[in-house]
A and B are shown apart, each in its own frame.
Chain A
Amino acid sequence: LFPAFSGVIHRSNLVPRSSSAQAIRWRNSVSADSICGNLLYRVLGLPFNFFWLITWLLLTPLCMWGVYRLETRAADAHREGDGRP
């Protein structure tokens, strides 16, 4: 009725065998929550969630500078098209 129990449950016994179960397990291991909520992922000494957000604090001005340049260029082209100074 019950499977033989040797006394120690090895981690490999708990690994799901079916491919769909393995796919779910893989997705869980690489999901945003798993990465952000896992303190083993460290970049420059910071937990990944801190690192990710601080990186975007620094990247946002660069991205916005690009948008600003594009908008300024478009506005200049528009003025030249109108023949205005």
Chain B
Amino acid sequence: VNSSLVALTFISVIVSAGAFIGFYAGTRRKMDLEQWTVGDRGFGMLLVWLLMAGEVYTTFTFLGASGWAYSKGAPVLYVLGYQPLMYVVSFFILPQVWEVGRKYRLQTQADFFHVRYDNKYLAAFVALVGIIFIVPYLQLQLMGLGMIVEVASYGAIHRTPAMIISFVIVAAFVLTSGIRGVAWVSVLKDLLLLFSAVFVGLAIPYIYFGGIGRMFTELARANPAHLVMPGATTNLGHSWYISTVVLVAVGFYMWPQFFGASFSAKSSDTLRRNAVIMPFYSITMPLMFFIGLAATLIVPGLANGDLSMLTMVRKTFPAWFLGLIGGAGALTAMVPAGVMILTAATLFAKNICRPILWPGMADQQVTKLAKITVLVITAAALCSAIYSSPTLVALLLVGYGGVGQFFPGVVLGLYSKRATMPGVFAGVVTGEVVFVALALSKHDPAMGLNAGVIALCCNLGVVAVVSLLTTAQRGGFDEHSHVSIGA
């Protein structure tokens, strides 16, 4: 039987199963905005774990991690540096965010800024920045999905139709089932991802070298510089490593979609226990690095490092297994993409359109507009994925630099009564301007540091100075109970 047909059958079955679960999860439920965006705040620990893991372990895990290990070498270890730290940050921040979310019926990150700082323009700005940086992250998922399906089908399906078909499915089950559909698809996706990472990550070093230790011995002999900083790069040294770990550790849960996922939890304790067990999932990351590092010896000279994992699987395993990996990879892109589309659409309808453009909008109209926006955002991400092609990790790091600027506003909003609205507003604007200026002028890293960290330092400085110069009229959430967010 034709290899591409076998692989395609496996991919189609897995994607169809995912789509079925996604559609089924939303049946027999009334999809108002509360149910659609935060699952009626009723998700238990397992579902929150799956949803969070679904968003954390994305196409980046599948392709980007092995891709950077292949093309850059040791700098990829920043991933192992930030992952344990980001869960520590989430342990302390997310339960607090959930508490205020429940109290004020918050549904989005921008709602948080609106209630805490009592300013709809700050909330709209945060929503706009969130949407702007979600699009490259969404593009990352799309491009990864296209690559996976193209390689896993032995080139039988080109990446553009693969991206279009998959994202039409994603948009459809997001419209139908909201965040509940995405969470249930994560069950299948996480099972497949864990199996793929553990099996392939251990099997490839054993098949080609006789073990992980022997693989490193070979690597140390053939290309020792690849295993130590700055690897195959010239500018990603120790300062870049430390600054990137700091930026991503504090910035990770500043992605707007994680606020929505947090609000869907049944209790704040669910989020604490989730933060305790999540680092175990990270063990998939070093396994992905092993595949990328093994590929440097077995298939050197690949033009696109992001394809190293799939190339190794295609070279080593039969077609049905490649199809299985391809299907898992496709779901790995579809699940986080679903949450991102949903979040961006809700931010646009609820935090930009209603308060700024059409103040009289009813809740039902907001829901309807958000659903229409799902289609617009999906189309925008598809266009950017088809017409531009930076590497997956580069896209991800751009996003972190942008959303990381929300960190002072969120943390000071939770823990300090002295942070003022003008201070936080000026800080976020400064941080975004500095980051975008550095990134666009190709100064990332700048002075050896991640541009996002430089922008974050400027942001913190401005927040501190302006907050001290302005009057703290109101402080903390307790004094904002009059602000109505509505659902």
Contacts and interface: CB of A to CB of B under 8 A. Distances in A.
Nearest to B229: A37
A57 B84 contact: yes
Contact of B216 (A37, A42, A67): A42
A57 B228 contact: no
Given A54-B286, A64-B87, A39 B272 contact: no
Interface string A41-85: 010111101100110111011001101100100000000000000
B295 to A, nearest CB: 16
Contacts of B278: 61
Main secondary structure of the interface of B (DSSP, over half): helix
A27 B373 CA distance: 59
Given A33-B238, A46-B216, A71 B276 contact: no
A42 B279 contact: no
Given A39-B228, A45-B212, A61-B277, 5 more contacts: A37-B229, A47-B228, A49-B227, A58-B283, A60-B84
Interface stretch (B74-82, B117-125, B458-466): B74-82
B283 A57 contact: yes
Nearest to A46: B216
B213 A57 contact: no
B228 A37 contact: yes
B272 A53 contact: no
Give the 9 A-B CB pairs with smallest separation, nearest first: A45-B213, A53-B80, A60-B84, A37-B228, A39-B220, A60-B279, A64-B276, A61-B279, A57-B282
Contacts of A47: 216, 220, 227-228
Interface string B283-298: 1011001000000000
Contact of A42 (B213, B228, B276): B213
Contacts of A33: 238
A65 B80 CA distance: 20
Interface in B449-478: none
Main secondary structure of the interface of A (DSSP, over half): helix
Contact of B272 (A50, A60, A71): A71
Contacts of A57: 80, 83-84, 279, 282-283, 285-286
A46 B88 contact: no
Contacts of A60: 84, 87-88, 279
Nearest to A59: B84
Contact of B276 (A39, A45, A49, A68): A68
A57 B238 CA distance: 20
B279 A53 contact: no
Nearest to B221: A39
Interface string A16-55: 0000000000000000010011110010111101100110
Contacts of B217: 45
Nearest to B277: A61
B204 to A, nearest CB: 15
B214 interface: yes
